[in-house]
Amino acid sequence: MSMPFYVSPEQVMADKAEFARKGIARGKSIVALEHQGGVLMMAENATTLNKIGEIYDRLAYCGVGKFSEFDQLRKVGVRFADTTGYAYSREDVRGRSLANAFSQVIGDVFTQQIKPLELEIIVAEVGDDRYEDHKSNSLYRIKYDGFISDHPGFVAIGGNVEEVESVLKNDYRDGMPAGEAAQLGRRALSAGAERSSELDAGSLEVCLLDRQRTGRKFCRLSADEVQGMLDGS
Amino acid sequence: MPLQGNYQGSSFFELLQVDHPHLAPDLSVWGESAAALRPESVPHGTTVLTMKFGDGVLVAGDRLATAGHSVASRDVVKVFETDPWSVMAISGAAGPCIEMARVLSVELEHYEKLEGESLELEGKANKLSQMIRANLPAAMQGLAVVPLFAGFDTRRKTGRLWKFDITGGRYEEGEFDATGSGGLYARESLKHGWAADLSRDDAVKVAVAALTAAADEDRATGGVDLERGIYPIIKVCDQNGHSDATEQEIAACYRAILEARAAGGNL
């Protein structure tokens, strides 16, 4: 009788992590940053396959890596949020519980399946001025192994994330106007894309969680609106 | 795995049925026990109406809910915005009706988020008709849901409206319609006041007149209650989306009717 090869758990995990990291690093970056009027999410993405999407009234989702995998996970999130909101109330759908649920799913796949999910995601939540204890925004980052962290101010995932983060770290300040946040986001993404010139509005996918809106806070900006925002109008 | 159910499609109604049957408003199970329910023990909504006008559609409903011969509620809401371009008005057994409006509004939002585009207005009306059909067993026992659905078709740039029967039959109307216990009287009034090119303000006047006529003839319809300050809900849906007629506006229309009546008019 032949014995299966013994592979240490450390080795299995390290191999899976290496595999997932490679897949994610091949893609382009996404940044999410807080500003005066809510949260801005920006991706380098000139295609019609969206990387940023709406989950619920105050929640948005960004994913990098393998499109089919992170888009499927987005749908799982929408189903989770809509079901929770229907069973309880719309105010009961919160970012932290959604981010934890995502972390659970991604972590389970990482430990139980042969192939881990090649993705990394952001869950962004905009604060609610009506409730004293829900006023602040939240940005959660969840990695391919289910590791979850929260990031006050800004967060970046995918591609050359170190370059992108270093620009954000240097120039981010609390309470920036939306236009300034958009310019900073573009500068950070351009640094990550290793380009000599800055990315133009047409190659950016930009979405907002706008505090001022009633009901659903999520909105997707057209190329013209993005240009307007970058020009500071 | 948590979160991941069996259902993979884009319909919230089906998601509930497949993965969360305890949450699904499966009204058919009410059918068997509904025989034991006396109609007077369940609140019923009364008169709602909808009409096209020059810029779009208007949907209006009074605020009274009755259980048999008693008032169940004086300020119930029967007109719901189901998404930024559509409105649903309910008449029939209030519980299942309100639940259906709630599911439809989540359904439309859910589809839009999953697919990245919202349904066409006709698609929304069709979805509603499937939900009414699912309610047929309960309807046979007296818990009927008979809504009106209207909205602004952003592609055709026009208002459109539909009425339904308890089997889920869906009929597009070109002018106006009204349903509920006072629906017949409201339709009679609309027949006289309605014109295809009404302005928004005139459409509100015609709607208040129709609800007043219904309240006059049908004891279960509330009309305008100036004493308590309870006004019908009137929603307009045009190329700018929704807007509500204000209480002052409705009160002014109603006072004009009362004055005309006091002066010997036939309103």
Question: What per-residue confidence (pLDDT) applies to A25?
Answer: 84
H helix intervals, B116-199: 121-134, 136-140, 183-193
Question: What per-residue confidence (pLDDT) applies to A24?
Answer: 87
| Interface contact A80-B1, CB threshold 8 A | no
Neighbours of B41 (CB within 10 A): 10
Tell whether B3 is within 8 A of chain A (Cβ). yes
Output the six-digit token pair for A60.
């948005």
Residue B251: CB partners within 8 Å, gap ≥ 6? Answer: B224, B226, B231
H helix intervals, chain B: 12-19, 30-34, 94-115, 121-134, 136-140, 183-193, 200-217, 247-262
Position with higher pLDDT, B21 vs A165 = A165
The reply to whether A114 falls in a domain is yes
| Interface contact B3-A53, CB threshold 8 A | no
The reply to whether B267 falls in a domain is no
Question: Closest Cα partner for B233 from B52, B106, B75, B114?
Answer: B75
Q: Nearest by CB to A83, which of B1, B20, B116?
A: B20
Neighbours of B89 (CB within 10 A): 30
Q: A75-84, A178-187, B59-68, B88-97: which range is least confident on average?
A: B88-97
Q: Best of B1, B3, B114 to disrupt the A interface by mutation (most A CBs within 10 Å)?
A: B3
| Interface contact A101-B1, CB threshold 8 A | no
Residue in the block written with tokens 């925002």: A229
Contacts of B12 in chain A (CB under 8 A): 82, 86
The residue range of the domain holding B256 is: 12-31+43-262
Q: Nearest by CB to B2, which of A53, A77, A105?
A: A105
Residues A136-144, mean pLDDT to the nearest whole number: 96
Per-residue pLDDT of chain B (267 residues; tens, 9 = 90+): 346 788 999 999 999 989 998 887 665 555 556 556 666 677 777 899 999 999 999 999 999 988 888 888 899 999 999 999 999 999 888 888 888 999 999 999 999 999 999 999 999 999 999 999 988 887 777 778 889 999 999 999 999 999 999 888 999 999 999 999 899 999 999 999 999 999 999 999 999 999 999 999 998 898 899 999 999 999 999 999 999 999 999 999 999 999 999 998 765
Q: What is the CATH number of the domain that holds A54?
A: 3.60.20.10
Residues A195-209, mean pLDDT to the nearest whole number: 89
The one-letter amino acid code at A71 reads: D
Dist CA B102 CA A33 (whole Å)? 34
A-B interface: how many C-beta pairs under 8 angstroms?
Answer: 52
Tell whether B109 is within 8 A of chain A (Cβ). yes
The reply to whether B81 falls in a domain is yes
- For residue B114, the chain A residue with the least C-alpha distance is A75
Dist CA A158 CA A145 (whole Å)? 14
The one-letter amino acid code at B266 reads: N
Question: Closest Cα partner for B24 from B110, B112, B103, B137?
Answer: B103
Q: What is the CATH number of the domain that holds B233?
A: 3.60.20.10
Band the pLDDT of A1: cuts 50, 70, 90.
low
Contacts of A101 in chain B (CB under 8 A): 2-3
Position with higher pLDDT, A196 vs A58 = A58
Contact between B159 and B150 under an 8 Å Cβ cutoff? The reply is yes
Contacts of A57 in chain B (CB under 8 A): none
Dist CA A173 CA A180 (whole Å)? 10
Sign of the torsion angle spanned by Cα atoms B135, B136, B138, B143: positive
| Interface contact B3-A76, CB threshold 8 A | yes
Estimate the crossing angle of helix B247-262 against helix B200-217, to 10 degrees.
60
Contacts of A78 in chain B (CB under 8 A): 110, 113-114
Question: What per-residue confidence (pLDDT) applies to B234?
Answer: 97
| Interface contact A83-B103, CB threshold 8 A | no
**CA-to-CA dists, residue A77 to A41, A82, A88, B94, B185, angstroms:** 18, 9, 16, 32, 48
Dist CA A33 CA A152 (whole Å)? 9
Q: Nearest by CB to A101, which of B2, B7, B114?
A: B2
Contacts of A104 in chain B (CB under 8 A): 2-3
Tell whether A53 is within 8 A of chain B (Cβ). yes
Give the ipTM of the model, two decimals please.
0.91
Contact between A99 and A120 under an 8 Å Cβ cutoff? The reply is no
Sign of the torsion angle spanned by Cα atoms A164, A155, A147, A112: negative
The reply to whether A168 falls in a domain is yes
The reply to whether A1 falls in a domain is no
* Half-sphere CA count of B261, side-chain side, radius 13 A: 11
Output the six-digit token pair for B135.
């309610």
Summarised one tens digit per residue, pLDDT across range A117-133 is: 999 999 999 998 888 88
| Interface contact A83-B1, CB threshold 8 A | no
The reply to whether A56 falls in a domain is yes
Dist CA B102 CA B16 (whole Å)? 13
Contacts of B114 in chain A (CB under 8 A): 75, 78
Residue B38: CB partners within 8 Å, gap ≥ 6? Answer: B68
Tell me the helix, strand and coil percentages in chain A, rounded to 5. Answer: 40, 25, 35
Question: What per-residue confidence (pLDDT) applies to A31?
Answer: 97
**3-state DSSP call for residue B14?**
helix
| Interface contact A87-B116, CB threshold 8 A | no
The reply to whether A4 falls in a domain is no
The count of domains in chain B is 1
The count of domains in chain A is 1
Summarised one tens digit per residue, pLDDT across range A31-50 is: 999 999 999 999 999 899 99
Angle (CA) A37-A41-A44 rounded to 5° is 145
In the residue annotation, B46 being an active-site residue is answered as yes
Q: What is the mean pLDDT of chain A?
A: 93
Q: Which residues pair with B119 in a beta bridge?
A: none
Neighbours of B239 (CB within 10 A): 12
What is the largest distance, in Å, between two alpha-carbon atoms of chain A? 74
Q: Which residues pair with B241 in a beta bridge?
A: B238
Contact between A33 and A40 under an 8 Å Cβ cutoff? The reply is yes
